[in-house]
């Protein structure tokens, strides 16, 4: 943790290649010899202290948060691997959902790549270092539980906020994560991701998108981030947005319209008429 070289590598990646398709093509190995996503997840690992401790304290204030942190109920490892993941990967089920549901939008997002690669980059129980005492072991368990939940919830959050899976959209979902889940290092990803795209597009729009995201996430009900990724699959997507006060990213809609080569909007089902989004992009 707090390895300045690894942190510098991660920040350099955020400003150059983040979101360009190599994030899920890890080249470096962790302490156990496993290949890892060697940038964003590496940054979070290096900043686990003190920010992981802060995140744990804040998220344990509610029952849902405690279930996530302690790996209980909807975030129990066996339940996740035997129930949650199979359902999230049940394409026959997902593609039959009505276009207005969260699950239909989610299917449109993940249908071409699935979720295994991302899930396999989580902090696992096997990475807990033996012989370091009860406190460290306890901390590793918490990291494993939280990592499992975040990586499986990530794409659900994409569709709720409409941010797509191109670089700026990915950066904004990290800003959402920072705000909703109290994961403060994720703000670095959002900031440097916006910086990268401002340089690449030679436009101030990415900075305006980032500022808008900060405002949107300031006013949300963050409890949405503590639910199981299965919770909303069959629910009307706009009703879920209204429930948690997730406003339309109007500046981002203009970014997508004005710079279409830097977006793909895979977060909106092709058979769904998203009236708020269409009005915003006019």
pLDDT tens-place string over residues 200-223: 999 999 999 999 999 999 999 999
Residue 46 confidence (pLDDT): 83
Q: What is the pTM of this model?
A: 0.86
Domain count, the chain: 1
The residue among 262, 64, 42 whose CA lies nearest residue 153 is 64
Domain residues for the domain of 50 are 4-280
Query: pLDDT tens for residues 169-209?
Result: 999 999 999 999 999 999 999 999 999 999 999 999 999 99
At residue 261's C-alpha, the angle toward residues 260 and 267, to 5°, is 60
* Number of C-beta neighbours around residue 4 at 10 A: 8
Q: The tokens of 102 are what? A: 């969260």
Q: What is the share, in percent, of the chain residues with pLDDT greater than 90? A: 68
Query: pLDDT tens for residues 60-92?
Result: 999 999 999 999 999 999 999 999 999 999 999
First to last CA, the chain: 46
Tell me how far CA of residue 241 lies from CA of 35, 97, 190, in angstroms: 36, 18, 21
The average pLDDT across 109-118 equals 74
């Amino acid at each position: 943790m707090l390895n300045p070289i690894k942190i510098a590598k991660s920040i350099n990646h955020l400003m150059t290649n983040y979101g360009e398709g190599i994030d899920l093509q890890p080249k470096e190995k962790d302490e156990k010899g496993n290949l890892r996503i060697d940038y964003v997840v590496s940054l979070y690992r290096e900043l686990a202290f003190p920010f992981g401790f802060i995140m744990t304290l804040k998220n344990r204030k509610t029952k849902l948060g405690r279930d996530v942190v302690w790996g209980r109920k909807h975030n129990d490892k066996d339940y996740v691997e035997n129930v949650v993941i199979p359902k999230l990967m049940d394409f026959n089920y997902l593609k039959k959902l009505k276009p207005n549901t969260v699950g239909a939008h989610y299917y449109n997002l993940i249908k071409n790549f699935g979720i295994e690669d991302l899930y396999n980059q989580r902090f696992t129980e096997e990475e807990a270092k033996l012989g370091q005492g009860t406190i460290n072991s306890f901390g590793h368990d918490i990291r494993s539980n939280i990592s499992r939940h975040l990586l499986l919830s990530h794409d659900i959050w994409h569709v709720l906020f409409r941010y797509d899976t191109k670089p700026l959209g990915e950066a904004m979902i990290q800003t959402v994560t920072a705000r909703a889940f109290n994961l403060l290092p994720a703000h670095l990803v959002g900031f440097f991701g916006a910086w990268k795209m401002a340089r690449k597009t030679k436009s101030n729009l990415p900075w305006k998108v980032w500022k808008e995201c900060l405002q949107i996430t300031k006013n949300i009900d963050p409890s949405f981030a503590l639910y199981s990724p299965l919770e909303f699959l069959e629910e009307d997507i706009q009703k879920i947005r209204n429930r948690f006060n997730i406003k339309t990213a109007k500046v981002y809609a203009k970014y997508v319209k004005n710079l279409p080569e830097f977006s793909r909007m895979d977060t909106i089902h092709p058979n769904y008429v998203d009236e708020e989004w269409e009005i915003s992009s006019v």
